[in-house]
Each structure stands twice: as structure tokens, then as C-alpha cells.
A and B are shown apart, each in its own frame.
Chain A
């Protein structure tokens, strides 16, 4: 125990995370891909939408590092745009689903009784809705839209978080410090904000790192089916789908986006695994 400065549980978690190479590699890879995704399209002379009829399906060269697609568009730029979209969808949809899930689950667990039953049965009902067919029907009805992808993904992924947070809240409620806080005469809002949420945060962060890749895969899946983002905009899913058409003749169109997709997913997995160990307050130093 360091005598000089007093470490918060968060600082200690960060110290523990720093000692886990796989988690750091995951974190580093994600930051690198994120930076590249932002910078490369800004510096590149090409843009993601304009076809170049003189450079169709070129293999990787000095001018087009990752080659070009069937419309002569630079794959590197399109790939980086794909990473942007996929990461954005992944992070934003996860954030939304975490917010809804935590509020929903914490309320159910904290209040309990009839409220709990009502909220959790709602979750059960939503769970039973077959979402892929629903999304397909919605796309047919309203056309392809970015927003729809968000809504569809958000609607599915908060359910798990709500369940986990509810379970965690129930077990926290029986801990003595929660009872001690009640014995101090604190109101419900203060109890939830000061005593419940900070103790839920660890598990929520861990679960969020698992949700992000799940969402990215789900988006890629929707895009692969042609239900995702609009052309000419690309996500990793649409790039893989496009690449699949030219698998025999131009395999790099499939492999390069697939490698990036895998890298992102694996990195989130490594990071989440490390976070799970690092954020466990019972973990020895």
C-alpha cells in the first residue's frame, strides 16, 4: 500500500490494467485503428465515393496501397471510412444501450416488487421478438437508413445489460453499506447516485467492452445482408460483402476488411478480459 498518495479504486484498477500486456495490446490496437480511421481519409487524395473508371479492380500498388474496388475507389480510404462507421455504430449504440440498460435494471432491482416484475417481464417480451426478421420488414417498409440500424441494434443490446445490472443491484442491496446509507437517512435518488451506481460501474464497463464488438458484428451482419448503411458509404460489413463478390479474382477486397474487422473484435475482447480482472476490487494487487 503506497503511504504517500491515496489511490482511488479507479487508480488502482488502472495500475492493474497496465500490468496486463494483452489488454494493453488490445487498447493500443483500438486507439491506432481509431486514429488511422480519422486521419487517413483527411490526408488521402482519394475520397470514398468518387469512382475512377481508369483504375477498376487494381491490386495494391504504390498509388493505391490497398488496391481499388470494382468502381475504382481507393480501398484504403473506403476501409478507413468503414472503420469510422463501424466504431461509431459500435460505440454509440453501446452507449445508448448501456444508459437504457443501467437505468432500467437498477430501477427494477432497487425498487423491487411489482415494478421489478413489470420491468423485467417487458425485457422478457422484447427478448422473444425475432429481431432479424423484424429489421428486414422495417427496412422494406421504411427503406435503408442509418438511424434504423442504430434503433435495431440499440433495441436488442440493452436487454442483457438490464438483466445483469438488475442482478447486481439485488446483490448490492443486501450489502451492509447500502443498509448503512439507508440508516443515515439518505433519499432514494442519493442512494442510487452515490452508492449504487459507482458500485455498478465496474461490471457495466466490462459488459460495455463486450457489447461494442457484438454490436459491430451485428451491424456488419446487417450490412452484409444489405440492410445496413447506404452506398456509397461503407461499413466493414458492406466492404466484406462487396469483397465477397470478387473472392476468386481479387481476394484482397475481402481479406483486408475482414482482417480489420477481426482485429477490432479481438482487441475489444482482450481489453474487456483485462478490465474484468483489473476492475475486480477484491483482486489482490
Chain B
């Protein structure tokens, strides 16, 4: 695998009232060209912080560990270096297309901003490229759209524009932070299809962050499940859905509403509250909410260990961070 991005033991902490607040705690990731990685977790699990760290955008955070882009270390890299990567090599799509565009600038101006800066394109060349990009994200009447302002477009269209903005410099990696959360379901599907299509065409690697396992399931090849700043399970998408080995993943999967068959009388949820990062238990962070937790779980944090046979390719490896080795599913609702 041609490593595009290698993250090792990434730890991000903020200064809290009582000592440092660790929002990401020892995350490892590998991303190759054309990979589509889904990161799933609930609010506060550290998934957005992880993305921001890849661009050096989390202000005020203390970042440790290593992030290498094509071998170049990004942790503690000078702002100048990061600025050349941002937008040019690593693009980011934000959650809410309603606020991710500047209300006072025309679509054309915002689309061409990045390419003019990073590639020094002339106005005409940038414009031609922008029209091409609008076409690629299936925006109708691109010429007219270029003159319009964000308020004249629908949410789905704006998210397409944001994606076009991100793709225009032909980056190697796209970071998508809940790109569909603010959109309604039909538009959601269109945007996901678009990301998939762009990945297939340009071999751009995508990291898609979402709290919605259903969204991740639709598009990602590999999935990392985050809980309290750690990756608790990692596998290729089919495996994760067919044979989750972490109780938290199982809980997430069970709480997806089935589209076919009879609806359960009560939608299953994961009991308890998301963890308080300032007061994590000494052992596994999920243990207080876990139906399988044993005595060891509250004492000793589990490491992310290989579940699958050791000889499979790294992309297909299935890893989990859980002491419980028995079968899941016995806690059916």
C-alpha cells in the first residue's frame, strides 16, 4: 500500500479546569490513495478533533504523536508548511453548507480562491477550471451559478459547491466532517454518491466522519469506531457490520432503524451517557455502559489488538480494543 497519510499515537489535549482534557488518545491511522475511511462515534468522541489535527487547525490544543503526509511530519510543522498543504493537498468539507460559504462573496469568487492561491492560476484559467468542477459535482447552469451568492442556492447545492471548492485543487485527501448531517435524507444520499464517484474518478482518499453508522456503511471501505478519543474497533465495512467484536459497535449497529421488516416497538439505544472526558474510568472508557463488562474492564484499559488472522493484508485487518472475548448479541432487546 502506498502510504499517503500515516498517523501514529496521536494525542490531542486541551487545557481544562482540572488538568488537561484529552480529546484524542493514541490514535493510529493509515490511508492510501483512493481509500475511503469512515470514522464513526458519538458527539465528543474526538472525531472532529482528529480531522482538524490533520490540517493543524485545532487552535489552542496540545498535539503529540506523529502525522506524516507522504513522509512529511505535520505535528508541530510551521504554519507556512501547513498552509501549503491545506486546500492544495488536503481539503476539508465542513458540516453545515449554510455557514461554510461566505455570504458576501459570489460562488465563482469562492470557488477560484484556492486554485488561484495554490497554483497561481490566472483568472480565466481558474474560471474554466471552476466551471469544469461545477459540472463534475452535477451543478446545473454552472455559468449562472458562478455569479450567484450562497443565499440563492439550496442546502444540497451549497454542499456540492463546497465539495467542488475542496476538489478544485485536486487534493490527495479529502476530510469530510459530517458532510450530510445538515441535509435532508434524499440530498444526503446524493452527496454520498457524489463523494464516491469523485473518489472513483480521481483516486482521492477520503476520511468521512459521521455519528451515523448508516451513512458510513453506505460509502466507506474501512471503518474506525471511536469512543472517548480512542479507536475501539477497526475493520473493513462488511466485516464490521456482519461481525462486530466490540460491544459499543454492536450497540451502534443495533440502533440503526431497519428499513425493511417490522419496526421494533422500542428503538434500541445504548444505555447511559457519553463519557465525561474529565473523569474517565481507569479501565475501559466504555465499561460503565457495557453489558459485557467484567471486573478486568474497570481496572485495565484494553489495547487495540488484532482480531483477524495475522496474515491478512493490513487494509482488511480487523482490530478491537476490548477484553471480552465471548460472542456478542446475547443482550438482545
Contacts and interface: CB of A to CB of B under 8 A. Distances in A.
* A and B co-occur in one complex: yes
A201 B100 CA distance: 19
B151 to A, nearest CB: 7
Interface string B80-113: 0011111110011011100111111110000001
A141 interface: no
B103 A183 contact: no
Interface in A165-208: 175-177, 179-187, 190, 194-195, 198-199, 201
A184 B117 CA distance: 9
Q: Which of B99, B102, B118 has the largest count of A CB atoms less than 10 A from its CB?
A: B102
Interface stretch (B6-14, B29-37, B142-150, B271-279): B142-150
B41 interface: no
A6 interface: yes
Contacts, number: 84
B102 A195 contact: yes
A185 B149 contact: no
Contacts of B144: 6
Interface string B177-220: 00000000000000000000000000000000000000000000
A182 B52 CA distance: 11
Contacts of B99: 175-177
B165 interface: yes
A278 to B, nearest CB: 15
A231 interface: no
A29 B85 CA distance: 54
Contacts of A180: 92, 94, 100-101, 162, 165
Given A6-B149, A8-B149, A9-B151, A185 B103 contact: no
B83 A187 contact: yes
B247 interface: no
Interface residues of B, number: 34
A196 B91 CA distance: 21
B162 A6 contact: no
Interface in A256-285: 281
B94 to A, nearest CB: 5
Contacts of B87: 183-186
Interface string B238-261: 000000000000000000000000
A1 interface: yes
Q: Which of A180, A186, A190, A198 has the largest count of B CB atoms less than 10 A from its CB?
A: A180
B55 interface: yes
Contact of B105 (A6, A198, A201): A198
B295 interface: no
A104 to B, nearest CB: 22
Contacts of B85: 185
A186 B101 CA distance: 14
A184 B102 contact: no
Nearest to B147: A6
Interface in A23-76: none
B244 to A, nearest CB: 33
A176 B95 contact: yes
Contacts of A182: 57, 86
Nearest to B104: A198
A9 B102 CA distance: 11
B113 A186 contact: yes
A186 B117 CA distance: 7
Interface in A1-15: 1, 6-9
Contacts of A186: 83, 87, 113-114, 117
B84 A185 contact: yes
A198 B109 CA distance: 13
Nearest to A2: B152
Contacts of B152: 1, 6
A181 B102 contact: yes
Contact of B149 (A9, A179, A194, A201): A9
A194 B103 CA distance: 11
Contacts of A184: 86-87, 91, 113-114, 117, 165
Interface of B: 55, 57, 82-88, 91-92, 94-96, 99-106, 113-114, 117-118, 144, 147-149, 151-152, 162, 165
Interface of A: 1, 6-9, 175-177, 179-187, 190, 194-195, 198-199, 201, 281
17 contacts: A1-B152, A6-B149, A6-B152, A8-B106, A8-B149, A176-B95, A176-B100, A177-B101, A184-B165, A185-B85, A185-B88, A186-B83, A186-B87, A186-B114, A194-B105, A201-B104, A281-B151
